[in-house]
Structures are given as C-alpha cells and as structure tokens.
Amino acid sequence: MTSLTLKDVAVGDLEKIDLAIAPGEIVCLSGASGAGKSRLLRAVADLEPHGGRVRLGDTEQDSVPGHRWRHSVMMVPAESAWWFDTVGEHLEKPMPEALRALGFAGDVGNWSVSRLSSGEKQRLALARALSREPRALLLDEPTANLDDKTTRQVEAWLQSVIRERHCPALWVAHREDQIQRVAGRHFRIEDRRLVEVRE
C-alpha cells in the first residue's frame, strides 16, 4: 500500500503545496474556475512543469520516465480522448463487473466510440483508467456530465474500487453534496493557496 505525497509543489500561480494522501483515501479539491485545480492534477501526473517533489510510496516522480509514472498515477481528465474505433480496444483487459456497475450492457466493448454520449464517455474513461490497474488516481470532475442517479452510481463504484485497491485519490469536485459523500478530506484553492475545509 502506497501514499501519494506532494512536497513544495508549485505550478502556475499556486503557492507551494504540501499534501499527503493515504492509501484508499479520497481527498477532494474544489475552487473557482481557473483557480488551478486541473493544472495541479496535471503537475502530479507529470504533464505540467512544476516545482517541488511528487512521490508515490518510495518512488520519486522524476526518477522514472513520464509514461511509466502516468501508468501508476493515472489521471482521468474531464474531457477524455479516444483514439480507436471501438470501446473494447481502449480497455487493457476485460472488465465485465466494472462495466455492469457503471450501467453498461455486456456488448459495450463492441460499441463504436462515435456513438457514445458525453456521459457514456466519462464513465467509460473511468473503466479504461482502472483497467490499467493504477496505484493512484487523479480524477478531474469525473461525474460532471452525469445525471443525479448515475452520479451516485459512479460515486459508489469509485469509492469501492479505491478502498479495495488501496489507491490514494485526488478528486476535483464542485458539488458540496458530492464532496460530503465521498471525501475523507476536502481542500479548496483560495487566493492561490490550498486551504483545508473543516465541516
């Protein structure tokens, strides 16, 4: 089991950030549009230049090639990219239970990506990420395109997977009700600083 640790991480206009996320813990991150939430996730995923250090367990981010780091510290952006014709081609391995839990029929692997709605893409991007068995998750508004019922379904599935796999997770969220349901801790970006919200 491994923790995800940020030490003096500085990206964009944000002041240096220190944060440790325990195995199986969900830390929610909120803040105004443009505050730097997505940039911080991209820095942790080694997709954005930044100062400071990021560590997964004993592994330093800058000690491994970027693609290997991102296989372990998996970011799921708000808008996912798709490069093959069918859903199944994007999955590292079959995930029938996960796909069922996310509300998909057994033949979803044969579906053409071009037929997917934005909400379907968002749910399938989560399944795609988890099929690669990452050791930490960075989730950028993973339910933004979903209705309330499906949002609750996805939240329950993600919480279960994160607990079972002991994955540290940093989850960008805007809705207070969602944060209260899923977060072990909640931080808000205010005036370029990361401030813990205690409720």
Condensed to tens digits (0 to 9), the pLDDT of residues 19-44 reads: 999 999 999 999 998 889 999 999 99
Q: What angle do CA 165, 169, 172 make, to 5 degrees?
A: 145
Strand duo 136-140 + 26-31: pairing:
unpaired
pLDDT score, position 78: 86
**Residue 199 pLDDT greater than 80, yes or no:** no
Of all residues in the chain, the percent with pLDDT exceeding 70 is 99
pLDDT score, position 39: 94
pLDDT score, position 4: 98
Greater pLDDT, 93 or 180: 180
pLDDT score, position 79: 87
Which of 3-7, 40-44, 100-104 has the weakest average pLDDT?
A: 100-104
pLDDT score, position 198: 86
Radius of gyration (C-alpha) of the chain in whole angstroms? 16
Q: In Å, what is the CA distance from 153 to each residue of 17, 75, 110, 165?
A: 32, 20, 23, 18
pLDDT score, position 160: 95
Tokens for 1, please give them: 């089991």
Q: Provide mean pLDDT across the span 160-185.
A: 96
Q: What's the rounded Cα separation, in Å, for the pair 199 and 186? A: 9
Indicate the SS3 state at residue 73: strand
Mean pLDDT of the chain: 93
Structural domains for the chain: 4-82+137-196 (3.40.50.300)
What pTM does this model have? Answer: 0.94
Q: Provide mean pLDDT across the span 44-48.
A: 96
pLDDT score, position 145: 87
